[in-house]
Amino acid sequence: MVNVNKMPILIIDDDEGIRITFERFLVREGYGPIVTVSNVAGALAAVREHVFDLVIFDFTLEGERGITLLKQLRDAGVDCPVVVITGFLDVDSASEIVRMGAFDYVPKPVNKQTLLRFTAQALRHRSLQNEKKRLVSENEQYRRYLEAVFRSVQDAIITVDADMNIIQFNKKAREWMLGPDSESQRPRMIDDLQGELGDACREDALQVVHNRSEVNEHRIEFQSMNEGKRVVSLNAAPIHDDSKAFKGVVLVAHDITTNGVKRNRDRDGFHGYTDSSPAMQEVYSLIENVGKVDTTVLITGESGTGKELAAEALHAESPRRDMPLIKVDCASIPEELLESELFGHKKGAFTGADRDRTGRILKADGGTLFLDEIGDISPRMQLRLLRFLQEQTFYPVGQDKPVQVDVRLITATNADLKDKLKKGLFREDLYYRLRVVEVNLPPLRARREGLPVLINHFFTRFREKLGRDISAISDQAMAALTQYSWPGNVRELEHTIERACVLCTGSTLSLECLPDEITRPNIQRLPQAAGEQNNFVEQRPPAKESFPTSRRVELRTSPSVTRDDIVDALRLAGGNKVKAAHLLGIHRSTLYRKMSRLRIAADAT
């Protein structure tokens, strides 16, 4: 609905009675502010000092036709609707008024109903004009932002339209296919691309245009113009607009060359990570590239995969590295306190607010704000966060004046946000604002090649921390550790190695130091369910009282655990939270957070 109280209106008429009457009618209906003038000079002075959303003037002002004034208003930059009131109107005058861009012309006399009718229509039109300008401006900013991201990535990216005309051709594509001295060159059509990579791009683009479907990743050897022999993985996918109409093709070529030399990305560690697996090498490269671009990042992955480390790495790779990195665990803070924690509050804003409090967002000004467990925030907090992202301003609780900040936002979740979107539990507009770039951390079972390095890292750390004279891990123990599924991921592995070092009594960490679920062979994989994360359970002898097998499977494969689930598990575990977490198929730290959030006491059985 149009906010008529904040849309200034200018009335131009040499009849003081009409000016006063019009102003009175409009003010009574809530319109305003209203400015009235009696002549051309006053009108031109008013539009120089104020921006109006509607101008109403008499066509015979000062005894002369108002075409001249209408032209002067347009020349002065007035682009709002103009309504001309006239006592007589011939065809030529009407045509000229319309040609000059008047919104409407109204014959005299003008009664109250007519005045209010055309005022409402004109202001509604003005509101739509302003909204269109805002959207055009936002789209332009977003386009420039995407172009910056497009230029900064280390992959070659080419987009073409349905007629095979090249729309975008980034720096890396130019270096590989045109050479280092081609800064001003840009091929017009995909047929202009030469060499093995150019041929492959052309063939893939033609296939996508004909079939309207993605061409799966395949590998191409080619002679780069400035980097010698390269090997890239090439992928081509269709581009659709909002109405699902086919618009063109995007081609992405990712460098996977090794040349028999240990490349920069083949690392055993990276900003706190210790993992040499190919899956994590891709994560390292993505963090390096995205870290340098000042954009929002959504970190996803199962619990225990190292999402906080990813946020720290993104901050360390960014130009903001010397500024604060502020972390907030949204799941560990009660909903009624989270708003104050993030945005701060003024003294007296609510009961107990005995002093001003600086929120985490303001503390992160100039740096990075990391919001963990973003999938658990309430609809109200989702809306407040969306507004903050749109405007980079916020209102502390109890304060009317907005606060401007410069903050990069990184969020993380182990929840399935797409599923929450479908269920209406998470805002779609916020999801796409947060997920400009997604960093997905693979679970340990998807990066087994890096397990020995990670196991030895934790073994060395806890051996030294505990002062234990343990020289090595036995081959059998290492095999058991690398073959286990690790449903709790890195966090579970870390605690397992710490426990093993505590229990080890000899110079070798052996099988007997490891938990039964790792060493016993009767651990079988359950059929995989949609959205499953922890798909291994141990086949145990029936207990006197436990969850039925079907119930345990349901809990382990479910994306969420309810209050009743937790209470039941605590009852069966006799209040032991570690055992309860095992029954639920979640890590104990996840159980602690959920108990805190749901206000469940350990003895709530």
What domains does the chain contain, in order, with CATH numbers?
Answer: 4-132 (3.40.50.2300), 153-255 (3.30.450.20), 269-294+304-410 (3.40.50.300), 444-519 (1.10.8.60), 542-605 (no CATH)
Cα 566 versus chain centre, distance: 31
The angle that helices 577-584 and 549-557 make with each other, rounded to 10 degrees, is: 90
The pLDDT, as a whole number, for residue 168 is 83
Which band of pLDDT confidence, cut at 50, 70 and 90, is reported for residue 172? confident
Residue-wise pLDDT tens digits, 108-142: 888 999 999 999 999 999 888 888 888 888 877 76
Q: Are 447 and 304 in contact (CB under 8 A)?
A: no
Average pLDDT over residues 456-477: 89
Distance, in Å, from the CA atom of 493 to the CA atom of 113, rounded to the nearest integer, reads 76
pLDDT of residue 523 exceeding 50, the answer is no
Residue-wise pLDDT tens digits, 320-340: 999 999 998 888 888 778 888
pLDDT of residue 383 exceeding 80, the answer is yes
pLDDT of residue 148 exceeding 70, the answer is no
- Quickly list H helices, 320-427: 335-343, 360-363, 379-391, 417-422
Which band of pLDDT confidence, cut at 50, 70 and 90, is reported for residue 522? low
The pLDDT, as a whole number, for residue 180 is 55
Residue 109 burial by CB count (10 A; 0-12/13-18/19+): exposed, middle or buried? Answer: exposed
277 or 354, higher pLDDT: 277
pTM score: 0.47
The CA-based angle 343-348-353, given to 5 degrees, is: 65
The pLDDT, as a whole number, for residue 236 is 92
pLDDT of residue 248 exceeding 80, the answer is yes
Distance, in Å, from the CA atom of 517 to the CA atom of 513, rounded to the nearest integer, reads 12
Closest CA to 359 of 346, 373, 350: 346
DSSP 150-164: HHH-SSEEEEEETT-
Average pLDDT over residues 481-488: 88
553 or 203, higher pLDDT: 203
Which band of pLDDT confidence, cut at 50, 70 and 90, is reported for residue 52? very high
Residue with tokens 């030399």: 261
pLDDT of residue 207 exceeding 90, the answer is yes
- Specify the pairing of strand 408-413 against strand 368-372: parallel
Q: What are phi and psi of 86, to 5 degrees?
A: -140, 145
- Encoded tokens for 530: 């949609």
pLDDT of residue 420 exceeding 70, the answer is yes
The pLDDT, as a whole number, for residue 545 is 43
Average pLDDT over residues 424-430: 89
Residue-wise pLDDT tens digits, 396-409: 877 778 888 888 99
Q: Are 585 and 556 in contact (CB under 8 A)?
A: yes
Percent of the chain with pLDDT over 90: 19
